[in-house]
Amino acid sequence: MKKTATILLISIVIPLMACVTLMPTGTPLPTPTDIPPLTNTPIPIPTTAVPVEPTIPVTQTEVAMPFTLTSSAFANGQSIPTKYSCKGADVSPALAWGDPPAGAQTFALIMDDPDAPSGTWVHWVIFNIPAATRALPEAVPTSATLADGSAQGTTSARSVGYHGPCPPSGVHRYFFKLYALDATLSLSSSANKNAVLAAMEGHILAQAELMGTFSK
């Protein structure tokens, strides 16, 4: 037992003596006084102001009102009164619309029935309506040229001016389509729907639509 303790002590002491001999003679061991003391010197804070991005003012843009077409005779999607059909006085209903986009010079209006048995039937073609106009009165005359310079074209019935709904059977839809144009159309007053559509190509600024139904 004593022999084992002696061997263990020797195994610890010999490595320690080797470490001591490796240090240069006269080298003092560091003492706590060799470590620089901590100071309470405050850390300088930059006083230069950080530049702030300028705020860009937000300007409110004017919201354009939608270009709509209405009638005092019927609401969109509702039945057209008999007065405006072949069973009544067969006069045109009053129509009104809002301001068109800037640059509008004339308006054009087409009324047709896509439910006709023989294909779309054209009931009214009117164009070169002055840009200052905001309504058409009831019972627009069926003359080729109106007092304000508007021109009325030829319908599917080969007549000039408005002719009202007159379906052979069932419920038909009648579309009033108003176009705001940036030009005056160079057409004769006898121009039909296809001629007006071709002349309007590339000149339509806005379009509004009103649909009414009718059955006999």
Report yes or no on 8 lying in a domain.
no
Its pTM surpasses 0.75: no
Report yes or no on 164 lying in a domain.
yes
What is the C-alpha to C-alpha distance for residues 138 and 146, in angstroms, rounded to an integer? 14
For residue 100, CA distances in Å to 21, 107, 178 come to 104, 9, 11
Over the stretch 49-105, which tens digit does the pLDDT of each residue have? 544 444 434 334 444 568 999 999 999 999 999 999 999 999 999 999 999 999 999
Q: Are 64 and 103 in contact (CB under 8 A)?
A: no
Q: What angle do CA 104, 108, 114 make, to 5 degrees?
A: 135
Domain of 170, CATH number, reads 3.90.280.10
Report yes or no on 25 lying in a domain.
no
Q: Are 177 and 110 in contact (CB under 8 A)?
A: yes
What is the C-alpha to C-alpha distance for residues 151 and 169, in angstroms, rounded to an integer? 32
Report yes or no on 17 lying in a domain.
no
Going edge to edge, which strands form the sheet with 121-130?
151-152, 121-130, 106-113, 172-181, 204-214
What is the C-alpha to C-alpha distance for residues 199 and 193, in angstroms, rounded to an integer? 10
pLDDT of amino acid 148? 95
Domain range for residue 131? Answer: 69-214
Report yes or no on 32 lying in a domain.
no
Report yes or no on 23 lying in a domain.
no
pLDDT of amino acid 22? 45
Q: At 143, phi and psi to the nearest 5?
A: -95, 155
Report yes or no on 43 lying in a domain.
no
Instruction: Provide the domain count of the chain.
Output: 1
